[in-house]
Structure 1
Amino acid sequence: MMSDLEKISKHLTPRPAFQGQIHVDSLRVPSSYPPDLLSSSPQLIREDLQRHRTNLIPLIIRPVEEGEYEVIFGKEIVEFARELGINHLFASRIELQDEDVLPFQKRLKSIFGMNQKASSSYSQILLQSTFMDQIAQLVRMLIEENKMTFKNQFDKLENKLDEQNNSLQKISQELDELKKRLSLRELQQPISRQTMTEERVFINRYRNPQNLTKRVPNLKNKEAEIIIQQIQEGRRFKSVDELKAIAPSGRWDELNIQF
């Protein structure tokens, strides 16, 4: 699937265009030709062809098969030329894919619709100018419309980018807040352990081995039972080294032992 930028690029890409005479037998009008796409009134087209034996109003075609061309704009010119026995017409040949034909015709229809509202009708302008001038004027109109189309597409993309930037900023703020929470939690954990280890342990007051094992990390039950037994027999421990000698598994250095 093409991105929005690729669609815009494809829409604005210049297409090869060639002007010259072509035989009417090489032209065909597709059934999909818009019935309301008129370059001028039928009477003006017929009069123009009868007077000059060729067309001064633009005829736009595209190649579809070898030696065969499809009429994109100017169906009435081709029909009247055949009726009047005119074999050659001036045409502007452009390269268009099948899916690009209808959008191109819609743009032409829009252009002629805008010009019909002007003080001088587009048909009169065409009759007063040369064929190359007509093509140049038509190309300028298409370029101006493409500029507006590009601007509209660009504005839409810019709005989307703004929305994405806002979303990214929001995510960034949420991440910063999460970092602060995690940092605060990490700071709180050492404080809790420090508070726990700074609590005084009055070793000579213990009478229950289970209470002592809960208080001293890694202390084995058998070692706790020996310490409690000696305390009950009247011994008073006076140093951590004495405790380590009896119960080496205990992490005595992490505690505030009171004797």
Structure 2
Amino acid sequence: MKFRTCLWMGLALAGLACRSPLSDLQIQRERPALSLSVAIEDHSRKLARLQEPLGQVDSPASRRAALEGHRQAFEAELRAEAAARGLRLDPGADLQLDLTITSLGEVRAKYIAWGIVSGVAWGAGVGLLAHDTRLAVGLGTYELLEESAFWIGGSMLMGRWSSPAVVEAGFTRRGSDKPLWDETYYVLWARKELGALPANEQNRRERQLQASLRKAMGKLFKDLEAIPGFPAGGMK
């Protein structure tokens, strides 16, 4: 059971996906342009997972402010990287790049719930396939206890000892709601990006999360370079 769950997590965190259709997009201008939108979902349950509290009250308002600070910093880095590449960000551009930070600093409750429910469903399903109600109840109960300990305990450790970030990206063409391309970037720890900071900054929670978002941004631009004519840069 644990092998199955760990395998699922490994595939998700690796961000494995089918071949991207970005190579089919065309940017015909000498100085390509994109319309950029950056959002963040309000999902945090603990301020200390987002920043050093420094005496602040842990409240929905303080967490929203911390999340917005991370969103603004992420967008600023995106715009700086675009400018360094000669990529023009124009609200009227034909291609729209939408980015949403869906998780930051901790594992979202919906992922924990999904992991637990999927385990219980698997256990109960095995019993039902065997046409044994008692086996279904027994396996379902066992999976409930096991998966709860695994997901809740694991999420607490992950939030405490890593700097998880999940960024969803999508391309649409103006006038169309159907995405041309979408991808999700998962980061647990950004060792290289964090190591570039001064030693006294590396233990700050804000810097750890900014490093994770910077790593996600590097993955994003690496994918975007598949677009013919998209300007290459120095990010790895």
What is the TM-score with the length of structure 2 in the denominator?
0.24
What is the TM-score with the length of structure 1 in the denominator?
0.22
- Higher relative CO (Cα under 8 Å, sequence separation at least 6) belongs to 2
| Structure having the larger proportion of residues in helix | 1
